[in-house]
Structure 1
Amino acid sequence: MGLRRPIDGRKDRLVRVPDRGISVSNRRKRYQEVADVIRDRIARGEWQPRSQIPSQVEMAKEFGVSGSTVSDAIAHLRERRYVWTLPHKGSYARPAEHWREEPS
């Protein structure tokens, strides 16, 4: 269980949130951990190619991280062509033939 500020914005208390398996190691940043989970779900076929993945808000709640952390993870995956994003529509899983490990 971790602690974080509640979504309602009250700063006078912290709420307990379940551990979602996203941990911060001393060598990796949190957005990289989130990106790895998203990438693994796409690679395993949990999210089919060309299908919309959950919103950043939904993933932030699921992983117990901030929306900007999920946004950074999505940007990281976009550079590697695992996803593409349409403004105001969401992000979508790309087919495997488009993936690359290093951005060009």
Structure 2
Amino acid sequence: MEFGPDDEIDADGPVTPYRQLAGILTARIARGDWEPNRAIPSEQRLVQEYGLARSTVRRAIAVLAADGLVFTVPQRGTFVTPPQ
């Protein structure tokens, strides 16, 4: 299922919220909301922006990391991976 960068989380939809968030964040990266090697919003900010639990946000970020779209630096944040 495709998600747009401006979509909202549908808690009653067929796709789990963490997959929805991963799709939305992927679309935002593709749109250029965050430059390569620049941080995406913090977990806490994403929790507030999308009204999700912190564990849900962490799972979404883990999906992005597994897909190679972001990388995490301890104590610094999560950053957009530069294009290959």
TM-score normalised by the shorter chain: which range applies? 0.7 to 0.9
More helix per residue: 2
> Is 2:9 aligned against 1:22?
yes
- CA distance in 2 between partners of 1:96 and 1:45 (Å): 12
Identity %: 35
Deviation at 1:54, TM superposition (A): 0.6
> Is 2:67 aligned against 1:80?
yes
Give matches, 1:56-71, under 5 Å.
Answer: 56-71=43-58
- CA distance in 1 between partners of 2:30 and 2:37 (Å): 13
User: Alignment RMSD, CA only?
Assistant: 1.2
The structure with higher relative contact order (CA 8 Å, sep 6+) is: 2
* TM score, norm. by length of structure 1: 0.70
Deviations 1:24-54 (A, max 9, x none): 322x211000011111111110111110111
Please say which structure displays the higher CA radius of gyration.
Answer: 1
* TM score, norm. by length of structure 2: 0.85
- CA distance in 2 between partners of 1:76 and 1:21 (Å): 18
> Is 2:34 aligned against 1:52?
no
- CA distance in 2 between partners of 1:37 and 1:49 (Å): 17
Q: Residue 37 of structure 1 is aligned with which of 24, 31, 34?
A: 24
Structure 2: runs of 5+ lacking an equivalent: 1-6
Moved over 4 A (4+): none
Structure 1: runs of 5+ lacking an equivalent: 1-19, 98-104
- CA distance in 1 between partners of 2:68 and 2:43 (Å): 17
